[in-house]
Amino acid sequence: MSPIAASRHARLALIALLAGGIAIGGSPIFVRLSEVGPMATAFWRVSLALLPFYVMSRVAKEGGETPAGLRDYLVLLLPGLFLASDLAAWHLSLHMTSVANATLLTNLAPVFVTLGSWLFFRTRITPVFLAGLAIALVGVIVLKGGPAAIGGGQLAGDATAIVAAFFYACYMLALGHVRSRFSTLRIMVWTTLSAAICMLPVALLFEDAMLPTAAFGWAMLIGLAFISHVGGQGLVTYALAYLPTAFSSLTLLLQPVVAAILAWILLAEPVSMLQAVGGAIVLAGILVARRG
């Protein structure tokens, strides 16, 4: 690939990454408005997303390799296992500790991704990237109300939120690994299938009701599946072919910014000056990390 073509792909990947982060950032609104419980919502998020991914994979001419055997199929299924574990732990943490603690601790995922990239793939981590990561994390803390907002949680719930961050990091690292060989749509079909299979028994165990009672409830689940998962996760997976996994994981830090803006627009929740400053710091940190 020529330097000009590589630069064009990198720019498109960055746009896809940011758009994917914004789409994923809308997921808390859908989850909050869902008529079913958090585990059932997580199940429908991935199961409803499976159909459009499958249809697109059949229509599109996919690039990348074709799975050659059982080992390749297991590799394709692995990210879905990590994603289901992340969703289950994240939703559990919201019921076990304060929302502020759960959100802040889950946003440790880019730290785990950076460490994993260095430990397992020997990815070079520059001081500029680390500075950008630190700035973005500070921005998330400011966005959530500053250090004073941390506290009041339960130790088990805080630990569960950290577990969610760890599994999201594993999901991103696994995606980055398989993206070097397989196409976006092939990865998303198998990953989403795996996540749906893993989430079904968890949802049946924890939830009393699996089905929404009104059209509005189904609309929230479809929006979550099509916008946040098909659009968000699909775009992020595409970007991983051209951008470092550690940098791509910073899109997680866009989510509280997007969620705050959407809550202001759709739910009439006020955005304070502190939240606006925190959002600006997050964006500044991502821009700094990009230069690294």
Amino acid at 67: P
Residue pair 66/190 in contact by the 8 Å Cβ criterion? no
> Tens digits of per-residue pLDDT, 198-255?
999 999 998 988 999 999 999 999 999 999 999 999 999 888 888 888 888 877 777 7
pLDDT classification of 286: cutoffs 50, 70, 90: confident
Look at phi and psi of residue 64 and say left if phi exceeds 0, alpha if psi is from -120 to 50, else beta.
Answer: left
Q: If you ran DSSP here, which 8-state letter would residue 74 be given?
A: H
Tell me the one-letter amino acid at 25: G
The CA-atom distances, in angstroms, between 161 and each of 56, 91, 105, 200, 232 are 34, 9, 6, 21, 21
Distance between CA atoms of residues 28 and 230, nearest Å: 16
Q: Which residues contact 34 (CB under 8 A, 6 or more apart)?
A: 41, 212, 217, 220, 221, 224
Q: What is the pLDDT of residues 112-160, one digit of tens each?
A: 888 888 888 777 888 888 888 888 888 877 876 766 655 555 778 778 8
pLDDT on residue 145: 72
What pLDDT score does 3 carry? 61
Beta bridge partners of 64: 182
Contact present, 282 and 136 (Cβ < 8 Å) = yes
CA-based diameter of the chain, in Å?
Answer: 56
Residue-wise burial string across 180-210, b where 16 or more C-beta atoms lie within 10 A, e elsewhere:
ebbbbbbbbbbbbbbbbbbbbebbeebbeee
Give the 3-state secondary structure of residue 64.
strand
Q: Are 259 and 23 in contact (CB under 8 A)?
A: no
Rounded to two decimals, what is the model's pTM?
0.81
Residue 18: CB atoms within 10 A of its CB come to 17
Please tell me the distance from the alpha carbon of residue 174 to that of residue 264, in angstroms, as a whole number. Answer: 34
- Quote the pLDDT of residue 149: 59
Q: Which residues contact 96 (CB under 8 A, 6 or more apart)?
A: 102, 153, 154, 156, 157, 160
C-alpha span between 146 and 18 (Å, rounded) = 25
**CA-CA-CA-CA dihedral for 194, 196, 197, 199, to nearest 10:** 120
pLDDT digits (tens, 9 = 90+) for 80-120: 999 999 988 887 887 777 666 676 677 778 888 888 888 88
Confidence of residue 43 (pLDDT cuts 50, 70, 90): very high
Most confident of 5-9, 128-132, 184-188, 262-266: 184-188
What integer pLDDT is reported at residue 265 of this predicted model?
81
**Do the Cβ atoms of 234 and 188 come closer than 8 Å?**
yes
